[in-house]
Amino acid sequence: MQQHVLLNHRDHADLRIVDDFTTEFETGVNCSMVFTTEFRDIQSEFPIFFQKNPQTGAFYAVALFGLEPSENLFLNKDGWDGDYVPMMLQKQPFFIGKAKANDSQKKDSKAESSMVVTMDPASPRISKTDGHKLFNPDGSATEFLAKKMDVLERVHQGNQHTEDFVAALVEHQLLEQFVLELNLHDGSTKQMLGFYTLKEEAVQALKGDVLETFSEKGFLMPLFMVLASHANVRELIRRKTGF
């Protein structure tokens, strides 16, 4: 289990981050959680499907990178072979945390927890000799860290909209489980389980108040992006087989 620590200049002034995408790091996975705010970029390269958290039962959107459990067909010896890197990979090894309220804040029922930057100290990206510095000599964030913090902010903003979007899909029964069956060029067949997709006919049948609500909340564009992204399954097959 990851034990995140609060990022600060006092304890981490000498740390650096290796920001390359290679198989040495944690990017060798076959999918990543993605957010509605990046669906336009995602759909140009990756298929977008949905998975269910086995502990909570909550659905979340993912971009598919490979056809095997730990296969990333966009990752090779030269780095990331694609035009877009999903935000969950961009932000590594940083996370968003909530600072504990002090005694004075606890007395104020309206006080909100402040957002802070945390990191996984066990991440192989962390180094004291290689990579990008996090802090300037005066303790301020470097340009590199500032960019990472910007990604974290976009993740935070995108997460809430995505949760609302997925909740609407569940409420209106627009998700269904399916088996992704792939016919490869060598004649073999591969099946991928555990994914959900949109019920396209149900999406096309949306009308009236539901359609208006989807439009007002910014849910229509993500719907179209998900459906359009499925054409990228062919690209995964091409990358795997060379045809």
Q: Which pLDDT value is given to residue 182?
A: 77
Distance of alpha carbon 186 from alpha carbon 180, whole angstroms: 18
Residue (of 70, 243, 53, 64) closest to 166 by Cα position? 53
What tokens appear for 22 in the block?
């290679």
Distance of alpha carbon 67 from alpha carbon 237, whole angstroms: 8
Q: Which pLDDT value is given to residue 23?
A: 65
Cross-strand bridge partners of residue 124: none
Distance of alpha carbon 85 from alpha carbon 241, whole angstroms: 22
10 Å Cβ neighbour count for 148?
24
User: Strands 59-64 and 48-52, how do they pair?
Assistant: antiparallel
Per-residue pLDDT tens, the chain, 243 aa: give them.
568 899 999 999 999 999 888 766 656 689 999 999 999 999 999 999 999 999 999 999 999 999 888 889 998 888 899 999 999 999 999 998 876 655 544 555 444 557 799 999 988 899 999 999 999 999 999 999 999 999 999 999 999 999 999 999 999 999 999 888 877 767 777 788 889 999 999 999 999 999 999 999 999 999 999 999 999 999 998 898 877
Distance of alpha carbon 120 from alpha carbon 25, whole angstroms: 13
Side-chain-side CA neighbours of 2 within 13 Å: the count stands at 15
How big, in percent rounded to 5, are the helix, strand and coil portions of the chain? 35, 25, 40
Q: Which pLDDT value is given to residue 233?
A: 92
Distance of alpha carbon 95 from alpha carbon 108, whole angstroms: 27
The sign of the CA dihedral 39, 41, 47, 53 is negative
Residues for the chain: how many in total? Answer: 243
pTM for the model stands at: 0.87
Helix ranges (DSSP H) in the chain: 9-12, 39-42, 87-90, 103-107, 143-171, 200-204, 208-216, 220-229, 233-241
Residue located via tokens 């992704």: 180
Q: Which pLDDT value is given to residue 110?
A: 47
3-state secondary structure of 166: helix
What tokens appear for 94 in the block?
């940083």
Q: Which pLDDT value is given to residue 187?
A: 73
Contact 196, 59 (CB under 8 A): yes
Q: Which pLDDT value is given to residue 111?
A: 44
